[in-house]
Structure 1
Amino acid sequence: MSGCCGPVTTNTTAVEPEPGRQASRPGDLPVVVVGAGPVGLAAAAHLAERGLDFLVLEAGDRAGASIARWGHVRVFSPWTYDIDAAARRLLEASGWQAPDPEWLPTGAELVEEYLAPLAALFGERVRFGAKVSAISRLGHDRVRTAGREQAPFVVRLAGGGELHARAVVDASGTYDTPNVLGASGLPAYGEAEAGDLIDHALPDVLGADRDRYEGRHVLVVGAGHSAATTLLALAQLDDTPVTWAIRAAGATRAYGGGDADALPARGALGTRLHALVTAGRIRLVTGFFTHAVERDGERVRVVSRDPSGAEQSVTADRVVAATGFRPDHAIAAELRLDLDPILGSTRALAPLIDPNHHSCGTVPPHGADELAHPEPGYYAIGVKSYGRAPTFLLATGYEQARSVVAALAGDWEAAREVRLDLPETGVCSSGLAEAQEQRVGLATGISGGLLSTPLPVASTTGGGCCG
């Protein structure tokens, strides 16, 4: 079958081809990209432009399957930041018309208007329902060194069979591996037993999931933008008490920069949340360190125990654990990874993205060099590359994809010429939120051009701070 980029030469059947041929000619094998989200498909677009054979393996049933799960949420970043440059060139060559660059798309719009058409260009080079369970080197476990760099990668599929690759670009994201509710990074006592009463970030409160929340007391745990988005939606439901629990002694950081935020929609989110807490619509509980979850029939008591041993608790009907996400490197356990012990990113990238020192707009340019592991030819890119740092921007992921593909093509000059155009450069005007409000036809009656709460906004990745 032919896609946008010439005939597909890869054998996409999930069986092991003749081993001798692969071991002697790994350069003939495709680059395997794990994940058909925005950054994975951006990598595919750059591979296509450089004439490199590739295969994209997506665990879900569509492009952007994880994004589709929060399709009701509007992202912070306008379309101008949401479309990769190489992907745009390929799409426009096929007759595709780009959306309004200043519009803030929903997750569903990202999938339908961008990711689905992009994946369609690649034809059989994108395989759905292909979950990767493990990656290794042909004939080499993690210990064996001799001949390692010449051996192709083995990519094993959860449904059976395996594929061989010259390189692997892991853009599988973190949405399927949320952080636990427990404040110490460990599951709270009883958390698993009460799992059916605990939801993770960004439920569709005003849509498909409304019946689970309306008229019930809901506890939201977490201080990020996913928590804020959910809180704003819950506040619109009648007869629905809302409690917000955070570890900090105050919510100033969670409220963000307000009108001074370089992404106006993000600033509006914090300002609106602050107003609801001040008005008493949302009850804020500070110094809350989740320690235990005690089920009582169809209700749940969430117990906090702070570092001094002092306890407090909240009893609710449902809990939303908006506590962020973490990477799962288990599929690469037989590869030689150099992971930062704190963030779980590469060791070289960690100081550039440390959330203790950087916001998403102050992350320095980085590319293939900072993303490289001791295992040549393996790269994790996108939100997974950031480990536990919630400072990821989609535009950063696109630049990662461009740099990594340039390195795989042997163009190290291009790989190392990394540039980032982030919102704090002044591209995002302070009038963007007001313009968006007018286009959507919403009015809040609150000064500052706030987006109305029926228009929740969150990160492009669904779990970072700054999409």
Structure 2
Amino acid sequence: MDQFPVVVVGAGPSGLAAAAQLLERGLRPMVLEAGPQAGAAVAQWHHVRLFSAWSELVDPAARRLLESTGRSVPETAGCPTGAEWASEYLVPLADALGEHVRFGARVVGVARRGRDRVVDAGRDSEPLTVHVVTADGEERIPARAVVDASGTWGSPNPLGGDGLPAVGERAAADRIGYRVPDLGQESARYAGRRIAVAGSGHSALTALVALAELAREYPGTHITWVLRRGMVGSVFGGGEADQLPARGALGLRAKEAAKAGHVEVVTGFRTSSVHREPDGRLVLESQDGHRLAPVDEVVVLTGFRPDHSWLSEVRLDLDPVLGAPTKLAPLIDPNAHSCGTVYPHGADELRQPEPGVYLVGMKSYGRAPTFLALTGYEQVRSVVAEIAGDHESAGRVELVLPETGVCGGSGVFDAPQEAADGCCGAPALADLTLSTSRVGP
């Protein structure tokens, strides 16, 4: 197998770090990126500021590679935006990797050479084949191993509360967005409008803070925050107890925006349908028949999910709930863990039944949220050591993540409210003292 490269799918932070680790161990990486540049997904949320500092965003092997080629590594103490992370780190790192990175190369399939998923014979002796589509056509690349660092950015979760698009959601696509709005470019779309924001994670908090600032400038702007959970609970995060200060501050700013009256919070609302009014505005209806006031725009920030479709001919062992590697899933279940309580993990948890196939980076978390770059860098260090035959190093996984300041996990629902009202309780308007007033019966 030594004559074949290790194919890394995705030129994002984890994928490029894997390539740097492979080079350092004398192995030949081939990074295949569907987009036109390094960090193509990051470039799409260029306006969003990370809550990790530069020291937590640069992989050690990548740093050594950059420094060996005379390129500087950001040393500032602040937290960069997506644009800064891409331009000051990811793009230079891809340049340093040179011919080992190919852009405009979309992976559409991975298989064992000459064998479909059913065939047992030869799975240890034949190379993997990576099926790629480029502007010049199709090709198959033999590989000794495949490291899937393709992420989840291309597969956002829908608005529908049951995990599928709500009735009418697709038809209303012109007024529904699935990314944090770039108000530097899209302010006219949202200023002075009624906006519904669905989601309870950090992306939703980021959007709420940005839209609340817009509301201060344009008083007619009204924001309704739609939560599936039955109570506000720990949705604002750990605040000052968060070991990532910028992450804690984000939650505090979102809480202040809500307290200031810029954000109306609706809890216990699981969207089942989207109706278009004669004037074009949208009405969200819950599974219980409750309707919100019409809105001009809907921002859906309900997380992401992995795309395993192009891995259909290799043997995977994935958790049926999260879509993460089975051994990893219990460590990252959002009903039990925050990102600061994820146990150290590496090649052992990430390897698949198909020899030489590993899922790393955000994709390894499946539908679980709150993935940190530090996690991806330690994952690929361990996986590359395993591919190189250094099993001792691969098994020596050391990773201490910053605590979120929130005990337990994010949870899909808040148990106390569910126990009181049942899963079909009516949605409620919530103020930030956590008292509620009923909407509907």
Cα deviation, residue 235, structure 1: 1.1
* TM-score, with length taken from structure 2: 0.88
Aligned to 2:170: 192
Cα deviation, residue 386, structure 1: 0.5
Cα deviation, residue 250, structure 1: 2.2
Aligned to 1:299: 281
Q: Is 1:236 matched up with 2:228?
A: no
Q: Is 1:400 matched up with 2:379?
A: yes
Task: Write out aligned runs for 1:441-460 (5 A).
Answer: none
Letter in 1 for 2:401: L
Measured in 2, the distance between the counterparts of 1:424 and 1:270 equals: 14
* Secondary structure, aligned partner of 2:298: strand
* Secondary structure, aligned partner of 2:86: helix
Cα deviation, residue 314, structure 1: 3.4
Native 8 Å contact 2:237 2:404 kept in 1? no
Cα deviation, residue 158, structure 1: 3.0
**Any gaps of 5 or more consecutive residues in structure 2?**
406-441
**Any gaps of 5 or more consecutive residues in structure 1?**
1-25, 427-467
Task: Write out aligned runs for 1:132-211 (5 A).
Answer: 132-159=107-134, 160-205=138-183, 207-211=184-188
* Secondary structure, aligned partner of 1:108: helix
Aligned to 1:266: 247
Native 8 Å contact 2:111 2:128 kept in 1? yes
Q: 1:198-228 CA deviation, whole Å, 9 max, x = no partner? A: 00121212x1122211121111001111011
Letter in 1 for 2:256: A
Q: Which moved more, 1:397-406 or 1:229-238?
A: 229-238
Measured in 2, the distance between the counterparts of 1:348 and 1:85 equals: 26
Cα deviation, residue 338, structure 1: 0.4
Question: Among the aligned pairs, what percent are the same residue?
Answer: 56
Native 8 Å contact 1:377 1:408 kept in 2? yes
Aligned to 2:428: none
Aligned to 1:214: 191
Letter in 1 for 2:18: A
Aligned to 1:381: 360
Letter in 2 for 1:83: V
Q: Is 1:290 matched up with 2:271?
A: yes
Measured in 1, the distance between the counterparts of 2:325 and 2:252 equals: 35
Aligned to 2:44: 69
Flag as ranges the 4+ runs of structure 1 deviating above 2 A. none
Aligned to 2:412: none
Task: Write out aligned runs for 1:299-448 (5 A).
Answer: 299-305=281-287, 309-424=288-403
* TM-score, with length taken from structure 1: 0.83
Aligned to 1:32: 7
Measured in 2, the distance between the counterparts of 1:294 and 1:66 equals: 31
Q: 1:119-178 CA deviation, whole Å, 9 max, x = no partner? A: 001112111111111111110100001111111111111332221111100000000000
Measured in 1, the distance between the counterparts of 2:285 and 2:112 equals: 46
RMSD (CA atoms): 1.4
Letter in 1 for 2:46: G
Aligned to 2:431: none
Aligned to 2:432: none
Task: Write out aligned runs for 1:112-123 (5 A).
Answer: 112-123=87-98
Measured in 2, the distance between the counterparts of 1:100 and 1:199 equals: 35
Aligned to 2:64: 89
Instruction: Name the count of aligned residue pairs.
Output: 397
Measured in 2, the distance between the counterparts of 1:132 and 1:209 equals: 32
Q: Is 1:281 matched up with 2:259?
A: no
